Amino acid sequence: MNKTVAVLGGSADAGWVVEELLALSYSVAWVGQEDLPDSPRSDGLRAYPRSRVSAVSGCVGSFRLELSAPPERAVIDAAAIIVAMGNQRLPLGADARIPAHPRVLSTQVLAERLSAPRQISGIAPAQRQHILFALDMLELSGKQAVVETLELALRTHDTWHCEVSVLYRELQVDSDLLESLTRTMREQGIVFHRLQDALPVVDDSGVHVKHADGVLDGDLLVIAPVVRPRSDSAELAGLLRIALGADGYFQQLNVRSYRPGLSNRKGIYLAGRCHLDADDAGARADAAQAAANVAILLGQDHLQPETVIAEVGSTKCIRCLTCIRTCPHAAVELAAYGQVTAAKVVELACFGCGACAANCPVRAITMKGIDVPVWLQEAALV
Amino acid sequence: MPNTSVVIIGGGISGVAAALNLAQRGVAVDLVEREPRLGGNTLDVCCKAVNGQCQHCGGCLVAERLRAVCAEPLVTVHLSSTITNIQPAGDTFSYQLVTANVKQAKSARAVIAATGFDHIDARTKGPYGYGALSMVITGEDMERRLRAEGQSVYDCAVLRDVAFIQCVGSRDEHANRGWCSQVCCRYAVRLARLLGARSPQTNITIFKMDIQTAGRDSQAFALAQQEGIRFICGLPAVVRRSEKDSAKAALLFDDINTGQFRTNEFDLVVLATGIEPRSDALQLAETLGVERNRFGFLASQDGAALSIPGIFAAGCCQSPRSISESIVHATAAAEACYRYLQEHTQ
């Protein structure tokens, strides 16, 4: 059995997935649109930097991915696919409500200045400055943005010994890390204020932000990153025939087969921040989960279908394609049964959810493995 | 990997998920549960789909795993059983399995603690009147009722005003519970949305400190606001029986937005109680010889590995977690355990 795993995405998340897979001795084909980060040299790893997936065929155990990678085209045969393309952060100027002013910075810019010595902005010596860090400014910040911003605020305080305040709407404390972080920050004299709806006002005298107890004046305003799904998520989702949630992130939509890290197709798994909001530690744990999913799939000698799967009665099928449209798992296709053409369930790809059987207008589909009459199955499924 | 076995203490969702993961990798597992059934706290979790739309609470992830673990030949389930006397013996651990007063000496190559959590007793928060006022219930009470009787119990609800109070027992340094329980905001918002959809004439208010939306639940929070659920910043000081209508509860709270004390009346008050370490967590830690963090959860430096090599923690005994997060953590614990076994097997 082919034991190659294709990892799609050039993000840090993908790097951790590759590391986990190599530790489990799988062959890995790593495809990313950008230059891929340095990875452990390994015989099991083939990297395809600056490559795009242009076509996908096959099913679990035997996917075939075609890449358009200049100068030549490449083909990958993989037993499983892990999507780990990460997310993207919007530039500060993307939203017109954030005033464009040298006093308003992104966390990235501040982090760069922090590593350069002494002067913050050329306005005043660092010690006398008051730097405001704003979470939840335009929308509630996610975990990644919260952790990054709070850590940066603490580091700024430690490095420049200046006054630091944090503005928030809903302060996130829901993990060991965040909790000890906010505690340490408070102990060091960093003040937290709850934001009001008004937007910050910036002029030459400083930054002015309204909060629950009054107005806060500062010299610099550092805004937490706004994170979005990558713009090419939809294209890849279309090629792989996997689902995107309403928010544009990859998400398993079929409740009956929802499991952490699974996509809606057998053999395609999700890892990292293309499907969840997590800080680095969370994304790393998710990479391990994705690798474990693959290990469970490929740990068998040969792939086996689920105990309960759908089966089409080819003589009853009227080729209305309802099942092909309904199947949440892209597991039904048209096939030739001798002379006739009818719907056919790809056994390995079927989750056994029963959506097709419930919707077939001529009751041509039964659930193999369930010993109850079709009408009862339908009653139970609808 | 022949002749290796792992003992997992606790048959809740974390223990079951870890057992399944190890069994699927060919490792024999003894799964020890002190109750007469598997599932632990998750057995009280109800489906919270709103108008048929899944809210990803994870409640439905349990049943199929329980079925799967019972069918798994490599997993031996010991119900109504406990473990005593765990001793490291070279590369293995010897222990006694106690089932109905019958002791049995066994050994394992590694140990996974998955003992879960206790719900914080709402009675410890005296001013909220839980146990004394009939219209004050907890989130788990509501879940249990929904689970037993189905979502339609609230279809003809005669509830005009319902309040949810967050952080009952959590984030409370005075009660020595400084941690965030991580699940209460999510289940309360889901339950509130479910109630709102089932009983549209009900006005719902959620009293909160900070809604914990990190992760992917900010959408649910935004939807709840769109659906007319009111969020008030600040927790009520006290819940009393209303003087005007003895079937109602009167909540006295300090409205941070206006800076004034107010009293509002509600037909039902739901306390979103949190998660705390098991009452016998200290005993477990001493039996295993591992350390606990300052809140009493098992302390781990790196995800799942505890302070003694070969002993791992999965799920809520290490930190509060949701069902799906527990499954992910248990998988990680099983992975760490599997690698430990590979390294320590000749």
Model confidence pLDDT, tens digit, residues A35-84: 887 766 778 899 998 999 999 999 999 999 999 876 678 899 999 999 99
H/E stretch holding A364 reads none
d(CA B27, CA A353): 29
Q: Which of B14, B67, B19, B70 is nearest to B42 (CA)?
A: B14
Residue B2: per-residue pLDDT: 43
Instruction: Please tell me the distance from the alpha carbon of residue B15 to that of residue B289, in angstroms, as a whole number.
Output: 20
Residue with the bigger pLDDT between B222 and A83: it is: A83
pLDDT of residue B117: 96
Least confident piece of the model among A317-326, A342-351, B49-58, B202-211: B49-58
- pLDDT-derived band at B282 (thresholds 50, 70, 90) equals very high
For residue B98, give every residue at least 6 positions away whose Cβ sits within 8 Å of its Cβ, in sequence order, or none. B81, B82, B83, B84, B104
From residue A340, alpha-carbon distances to A46, A311, A357 in Å are 43, 16, 20
Distance in Å from the first CA to the final CA of chain A: 38
Q: Which CATH architecture has domain B120-274?
A: 3-Layer(bba) Sandwich (3.50)
- Give pLDDT tens digits for B327-336: 888 988 998 8
Side-chain-side CA neighbours of residue B307 (13 Å): 11
Name the token pair of A7: 């990892």
Residue in B64, B212, B343 to test binding to A, most A beta-carbons within 10 Å? B212
Q: Which residues of chain A have pLDDT under 70?
A: 39-40, 70-71, 117-127, 254-258, 370-382
Q: Which two tokens stand for residue B228?
A: 């007319």
Identical topology for domains B5-117+277-344 and B120-274: yes
Question: Six-digit token pair at A140?
Answer: 């509630």
| Closest C-alpha among A273, A364, A269 to residue A60 | A269
- DSSP code string of A16-63: HHHHHHHHTT-EEEEE-SSPPPP----TTEEEETT-EEEEEE--TT-E
What are residue B243's phi and psi, to 5 degrees? -75, -30
User: Residues in chain A whose beta carbon is closer than 8 A to a beta carbon of chain B?
Assistant: 23, 139-143, 146, 168, 170-176, 178-179, 183, 194, 212, 246-247, 249, 253, 255-256, 258-261, 276-278, 285-286, 288-289, 291-292, 295-296, 299
Share of chain B above pLDDT 90, in %: 61
Contacts of A243 (CB under 8 A, 6+ apart): A237, A250, A251, A252, A253, A263, A264, A328
Q: Which residue of A has its CA nearest to B331?
A: A289
Which of A159, A100, A149, A108 minimizes the C-alpha distance to A129? A159
Distance separating alpha carbons of residues B146 and B165, to the nearest angstrom = 19
Q: With an 8 Å Cβ cutoff, are B210 and A168 in contact?
A: yes
Residue in B with minimal Cα distance to A277: B215
Separation CA B162–CA A320 (nearest Å): 48
Strand order of the sheet with strand B92-99? B81-89, B92-99, B102-108
The DSSP code for B50 is B
User: What is the DSSP secondary structure assignment for residue B243, as one 8-state letter?
Assistant: S
Is the pLDDT at B1 greater than 50, yes or no?
A: no
Level-2 CATH architecture, domain B5-117+277-344: 3-Layer(bba) Sandwich (3.50)
* A314 closest CA partner among A339, A337, A330: A337
Phi, then psi, of A127 in degrees rounded to 5:
-60, -30
Instruction: Note whether A183 and A149 are within 8 A (CB).
Output: no
Count CA atoms within 13 Å of residue B299 on its CB side. Answer: 12
- Categorise residue A130: left if φ over 0, alpha if ψ from -120 to 50, beta otherwise: beta
- B241 exposure class (CB count in 10 Å sphere: 0-12, 13-18, 19+): middle
Reference B275, options B58, B121, B131; nearest CA is B121
Query: Rounded to a whole number, what is the distance in Å from the CA of A295 to chain B's nearest CA?
Result: 8
Query: Residue A137 and residue B216: Cα distance in Å, rounded?
Result: 18
The C-alpha angle A41, A287, A60, rounded to 5 degrees, equals 90
Report the Cα A371 to chain-centroid distance in Å: 39
d(CA A11, CA A32): 8
Predicted TM-score (pTM) above 0.90: no
CB contact under 8 A, B215 and A276: yes
Mutate to test the interface with B, among A140, A174, A293, A353 (most CBs of B within 10 A): A174
- Which pLDDT belongs to residue A163? 92
Q: Are A153 and A164 in contact (CB under 8 A)?
A: yes
ipTM higher than 0.90?
A: no
Which pLDDT value is given to residue A71?
A: 67
Flag whether pLDDT at B153 surpasses 80: yes
- Residue B245's Cβ-count burial label (10 Å; 0-12, 13-18, 19+) is exposed
Chain A residue numbers touching B210 (CB-CB < 8 A): 168, 170-173
Cβ-proximal residues to A145 (8 Å cutoff; 6+ apart), any chain:
A135, A224, A225, A226, A227
Cα dihedral sign for B65, B69, B74, B76? positive
Look at A258 and B256 and tell me if their CB atoms are within 8 Å. Answer: no
What's chain B's average pLDDT?
A: 90
In chain B, residues with a C-beta closer than 8 Å to the C-beta of A354 are none
Residues of A in contact with B211 (CB under 8 A): 170
DSSP letter string over A170-197?
A: S----SHHHHHHHHHHHHTT-EEEEB-S
Chosen from B218, B292, B339 to mutate, greatest number of chain A CBs within 10 A: B218
Substitution target in B189, B210, B292, B319 with the highest count of A β-carbons within 10 Å is B210
Q: How far apart are CA A14 and CA A35, in angstroms?
A: 13
Q: A318-355 as b/e, with b when 16 or more CB fall inside 10 Å?
A: eeeebbbebbbbbbbeeeeeeeeebbbbbbbbbbbbbb
pLDDT reported for residue B41: 94
Amino acid identity, residue A306? E
Q: Which of A173, A246, A256 sits opposite B210 (nearest CB)?
A: A173
Closest-CA distance, B31 to chain A, in angstroms, reads 20
Euclidean distance between the first and the last CA atom of chain B, given in angstroms as a whole number: 10
| Domains in chain B: boundaries | 5-117+277-344, 120-274
Quote the CA–CA distance of B236 and B110 in Å, as a whole number: 47
Q: Please name the residue of chain A whose CA is at the shortest distance from the CA of residue B293.
A: A176
Write the DSSP symbol of residue A169.
Answer: S
pLDDT of residue B217: 65
CA distance A357 to A326: 10
Q: How far apart are CA A158 and CA A187, in angstroms?
A: 12
